[in-house]
Structure 1
Amino acid sequence: MVNRKLRSAAMAVSAAALSISLAACGSSGPAGSGTSGDSASMWGLTGGNQPVLQKSVDAWNSAHPDESIKLDFFANDAYKTKVRTAVGAGQGPTFIYGWGGGVLKSYVDAGQVADLTDFVKQNPDVTSRYLPAVLKNGEINGKTYALPNNNVQPVVLYFNKDVFAKIGAQPPKTWDELMALVPKFKAAGVAPFSLGGQSKWPDLMWLEYLVERIGGPETFANIAANKPNAWSDPAVADALTKIQQLVDAGGFINGFSSVAADSNADQALLYTGKAAMVLQGGWIYQGMKKDAADFVKNGKLGYTTFPTVSGGKGDPANVVGNPSNFWSISSKATDSQKKAALEYVKSGMFTEADTQALIASGAVPVINGIDSKLAASPDKDFLTYVYGMAKNAPSFTLSWDQALSPAQGDAMLSNLDQIFLKKITPEQFVTTMNATIGK
C-alpha cells in the first residue's frame, strides 16, 4: 500500500518538518490588499499545472461569487523569494503555496500559517482522498498546517531515444556506465546532460540522488535532524567529488550556468537533440507534452531511474523529489478570507474535473482511486511509471532545499553552485554546511 511505500520526507527527514514551495510570474498584494474587496488571494506557479489551477479557481468563483479567490502566478525562482518575504512580513497571500518541510516549519514557528488540525478532523472526507504518506508532509509536530494540492513529483532521468540510438547506447544503470557514455556523446557532438544551472535548484537533484545512492536516506535524515557535523558523512564528499568529476569530463552542456529552468530551456535542449539526457522533476513532462508534442507522442522521450553507485548503501528503488505541493492558509488573513479558503479546500479541490485535468496535463494526482483513470490516459506509460516510482519507493525524500530551514537551504544551493563551477572543493562545502546546522 502507498501508505508504507510512499515514504516522503516525513521518513527521510524524521526530525524535521516537511515543507512546501513553488514559483511563478505575476503580481499580487498581501492577504487582503492585493485582492478584489475581501476576496481570498492565491499565488501559484507558472508552468505545467497553471491551466488546471486557473480552471479550478474560475469554476469556484463562478459558483461562489461571495467567496471568490483572486489568483496570480509567478515563476518558480521569483515566487520562492517573493512568498518568503511576504510571509515573513505578515503579508502573505491567503493561500500559501509550498512543499512542506523546513520552510513550512519556519512559517509555523513564526505563527504565519493557520493550524488546520481541527478542520481535517471535522472533515474526514478531505483527508481520506489523499495518499496517506503524502498527507503527512503537511504535518508539523503532529498538527496539520498544509494540505496537498496537486501531483506526485519524483525526480526522473529523462533521455532522448533518437540520440541514444545514434551512438547505439542504452540508458545507464550504474554510475560507471553513465561516465562511460560521456565521451561517446561528446564525440557525436551532443552534450551528455542538459542542466538549468542558472536556477541552481536543478543542481541539487544530482547531489540528492548521489548521496542517497551512496549513503542511503539516513545520511540526509541526520542532516535534516540537525545532528552535529552531519554533513561530514563520507557519502556527501563522495557525491560532490563525483559531480566535479562529471563536470571535468564535460558531462554538462557548455554554458550550463546560464541555462534557466524557469523558461524550460533545459528540457528544450533534450527534445531538440542538443543534449542526450536531463535529470529533472516529474513535472517537466507536462512542459514537454505541451511544447514538444510530437517528440512525446511519437515515443522519442525515454525515462528511467537514477543509476546505482558501486558499493552504495541506498536502495535503487529509493527516490527524491516532491511528494506534492501544498496549500497552507495564512493566519493573517481575514475571517472571511479564511472561510472562503477552507471551503475551497473542502469542496473546490480535486473535483472530478480537476482530477481529470491534471491527468490530461500529464500529471499524477496525489489522491486515491485513480489507477483506472491513469490507465485510460494517452500518457499512461509515463503516468503509471511515475506513480509506480512513488508508491513502490522504500524511501521518498523531499527536495532538500524545502526539507531544510530557509537559511540552510539558501546556503546549500549557493555553495552547490560553486561546486558545479569548480570554485570550491567538497571539503569546503562540507565545512560551510556544517556551520549552518541548527540555523
Structure 2
Amino acid sequence: MKSRRATVLVAAVAISATLLTACGTGSSGSGGDGKAELKFLTFTSPNVTKSLWEGAAANVTKKYPDIGIKLLYTPNLDRQAYAKQLLATGQLPDILWDAPGSEFVKAGALLSFDAADLKGMNVPSGYGTIGGKTYNLWNGSFLVPALHYNTEAFAKVGIQPPTTFDELLTDAVKLKAAGITPFLVQSGSDLWSAGYLLQGIVSADVYGRTPDWLAQRKAGKVKFSDPDFLAAVDKFVELRDKGLINKDALSINYAQSTTKWKAGDAAMWPMGSWATATKTSFKVGVFPFPTADGSKVLPVSIGAAVYVSAKTAHPAEAKKAAVSLITDPSWQANDMKSDGVLPIVSGIKPLAGTSDATLSSLALLNDTSYKHVVGFLNEVGDDSPPPGFSDAFGKAMQGLIGGDSAKTFTAGLDKSWDSLNK
C-alpha cells in the first residue's frame, strides 16, 4: 500500500510538470520584444470563463505595454491545493489567484505589498495581514455563507424568508411536505463546499455572540465540543435527521450542485454570494442565516486574493500588474456580474444583466442594521485556522452528513485542531 501511494505521488508530480510545461510555464523572463513576460495562474468555473480573464489581462497589458501576461488555469476549483503542488515542484508562477497565505509566507514564497499598492481598496486596516505585512490584494466581498432561495418554491408553499431558526425549520418541513427538497448540500470531490449549511448556522449563532470565537479557539479558551458550538451542530443534525437535505449530498460536487440548483431541484442553497450569478429559470432571493433569537447577523468575507511569487524575475512589474487588475473598474463590474463578487473599489456601477440576487446581496452588505462577522472558517491572515484544518473540517463534514453524531463530529474537530495548531 505504501509503495502504491508513492507511485501515485510521483505520477501526480509528473503530470503537474507536464501540464505546466505544455502551457508554456517555467521561469519567466523578458520576451524578444523587451516585455516582462508574466505567468498568471487563475481558475475557471461555471461563472468565471476564460474569456473573462482574457479581457482582464488585455486591460492590464493595454495600460502597461511593457508587460505581457500568459494565463494559466488550475485543473479544478481547489486553487490552494494546486498552488501548494506547484510550490513543492518549484513551478510557482509570477502571479497567483488565491494561495494558502500563512503557509506560503512561512515558506518565503510570497512578496509583500506596500501601503501605496492598497490605495483605493475599501478593506479594513490590517485585514488579513500576516506578521503585520500584506501579502495579497483582495478582489471583493462575498456573503459567505448566505441562503439563496427559489422564490417560486417559497411562493408555492406560502412562505417568506424566515428571521429565526425555528421559522426556518418550520418552513423547511412545509417544503418537504410539498415534495420540494428544502436544502441543497454537496461534498463529493469538493470538500471546501461541504460545510456551508453548518458554517452558516455557526456564523449566525456562535459568531453572532462571539465574533472572535476562532481566535479564542487558537488560544485554547474554547472548544468545538463546548455547549454553544455543539448546539449549532445539533441544529444541522436536526435538519439532516428530518430528511431536509438532498439524499445525494455525499456524492455530488460543487459543479453538480450548481446544475441541480439551476434545474430547480431544491428550495434553498447555502453558498457564498458567487452563487447569485448562476443563471436560473426562476428568480433567486437571498437572506442571511436566521439566528436563534432573530438578531441580525451577516457573515461577510473579503476575498479571494491575488498573490505575487517571491521567485518572480519581475517583481515590480508583477506587483504593478496585480494592482492594475484588482483596481480596474471594468474588471470589478464584470466580476460582480459574472461571479456575484461585491466590489471593494468605490464607484462601481452594476452592469446591465447583473442578477437581482447579486444586487440583493449588495443591498444586504450595505444594510447597517446587520452585525457583520467574518464567516466561520473564512478567517484570513494571522486569524486563519491552522494549515490543514479546513481539509480536516471538510472530511469531518462528510461524516456528519453521513450520520455521525454532533458529539463525534465536534470531538473529532477538537482532535484535528489540537494536532494542527502547533
Question: Which range, TM-score by smaller chain?
Answer: 0.7 to 0.9
Q: CA deviation at 1:151?
A: 4.8
Cross-structure match for 1:44 = 42
Instruction: Give 3-state SS (helix, strand or coil) of 1:400's partner.
Output: coil
Q: After the TM superposition, which residues 234-273 of structure 1 pair with which residues of structure 2 at under 5 Å, given as runs?
A: 234-261=227-254, 263=255, 265-273=256-264
Q: CA deviation at 1:384?
A: 4.1
1:73 aligns with 2:76: no
Change in CA separation of 1:27 and 1:196 when aligned onto 2, cut-off 3 Å: farther
Question: TM-score under structure 2 normalisation?
Answer: 0.81
Cross-structure match for 2:212 = 218
1:132 to 93, 104, 123: 123
Which amino acid in 1 is paired with 2:253?
A
Cross-structure match for 1:345 = 322
Q: After the TM superposition, which residues 66-215 of structure 1 pair with which residues of structure 2 at under 5 Å, given as runs?
A: 66-74=66-74, 76-98=76-98, 103-117=100-114, 120=115, 123=116, 126-133=117-124, 136-198=126-188, 199-215=190-206
Cross-structure match for 2:297 = 317
Change in CA separation of 1:421 and 1:98 when aligned onto 2, cut-off 3 Å: same
Q: CA deviation at 1:68?
A: 1.1
Q: CA deviation at 1:173?
A: 2.1
Question: TM-score under structure 1 normalisation?
Answer: 0.78
Give the distance between the partners of 2:325 and 2:261, measured in 1 at CA.
36
The answer to whether the 8 Å contact 2:284/2:357 transfers is no
Give the distance between the partners of 1:75 and 1:226, measured in 2 at CA.
37
Instruction: Give 3-state SS (helix, strand or coil) of 2:343's partner.
Output: coil
Q: CA deviation at 1:306?
A: 0.8
Instruction: Give 3-state SS (helix, strand or coil) of 1:389's partner.
Output: helix
Instruction: Give 3-state SS (helix, strand or coil) of 2:92's partner.
Output: coil
The answer to whether the 8 Å contact 1:323/1:396 transfers is no
Of 143-152 and 388-397, deviating more is: 388-397
Give the distance between the partners of 1:88 and 1:136, measured in 2 at CA.
29
The answer to whether the 8 Å contact 1:211/1:235 transfers is no
The answer to whether the 8 Å contact 1:317/1:389 transfers is no
CA RMSD of aligned residues (A): 3.0
Cross-structure match for 1:305 = 288
The answer to whether the 8 Å contact 2:203/2:375 transfers is no
1:415 to 382, 386, 396: 396
Cross-structure match for 1:12 = none
Give the distance between the partners of 1:153 and 1:68, measured in 2 at CA.
34
Give the distance between the partners of 2:25 and 2:259, measured in 1 at CA.
39
Q: After the TM superposition, which residues 373-388 of structure 1 pair with which residues of structure 2 at under 5 Å, given as runs?
A: 373-374=349-350, 377-379=352-354, 381-388=356-363
Give the distance between the partners of 2:20 and 2:322, measured in 1 at CA.
21
- The percent identity for this pair of structures is 23
Over residues 323-351 of structure 1, what are the superposed CA-to-partner deviations in whole Å (9 max), with x where a residue is unaligned? 121111111222x2x23212212434432
Q: After the TM superposition, which residues 276-287 of structure 1 pair with which residues of structure 2 at under 5 Å, given as runs?
A: 276-286=267-277
Q: CA deviation at 1:35?
A: 6.0
Total equivalences in the alignment = 384
Give the distance between the partners of 2:285 and 2:167, measured in 1 at CA.
17
The answer to whether the 8 Å contact 1:212/1:219 transfers is no
Instruction: Give 3-state SS (helix, strand or coil) of 2:374's partner.
Output: strand
Over residues 122-179 of structure 1, what are the superposed CA-to-partner deviations in whole Å (9 max), with x where a residue is unaligned? x3xx42311132x643421221111113454442211111112222222332211222
Over residues 168-198 of structure 1, what are the superposed CA-to-partner deviations in whole Å (9 max), with x where a residue is unaligned? 2223322112222333222222211111222
Change in CA separation of 1:270 and 1:39 when aligned onto 2, cut-off 3 Å: same
Which amino acid in 2 is paired with 1:252?
I
Over residues 287-342 of structure 1, what are the superposed CA-to-partner deviations in whole Å (9 max), with x where a residue is unaligned? x23xx3x43xxxx21211111114x9xx522314x3121111111222x2x23212
Change in CA separation of 1:114 and 1:279 when aligned onto 2, cut-off 3 Å: same
Change in CA separation of 1:164 and 1:68 when aligned onto 2, cut-off 3 Å: same
The answer to whether the 8 Å contact 1:152/1:324 transfers is yes
Cross-structure match for 2:342 = 364
The answer to whether the 8 Å contact 2:139/2:326 transfers is yes
Give the distance between the partners of 1:153 and 1:381, measured in 2 at CA.
15
Of 180-189 and 406-415, deviating more is: 180-189
Cross-structure match for 1:395 = 372
Structure scoring higher RCO (CA < 8 A, sep ≥ 6) equals 1
Cross-structure match for 1:11 = none
Give the distance between the partners of 2:122 and 2:302, measured in 1 at CA.
10
Give the distance between the partners of 1:231 and 1:31, measured in 2 at CA.
46
Cross-structure match for 2:312 = 333
Q: CA deviation at 1:94?
A: 1.4
Instruction: Give 3-state SS (helix, strand or coil) of 2:322's partner.
Output: helix
Q: CA deviation at 1:108?
A: 1.1
Over residues 367-392 of structure 1, what are the superposed CA-to-partner deviations in whole Å (9 max), with x where a residue is unaligned? 1233xx14x75537434432343344
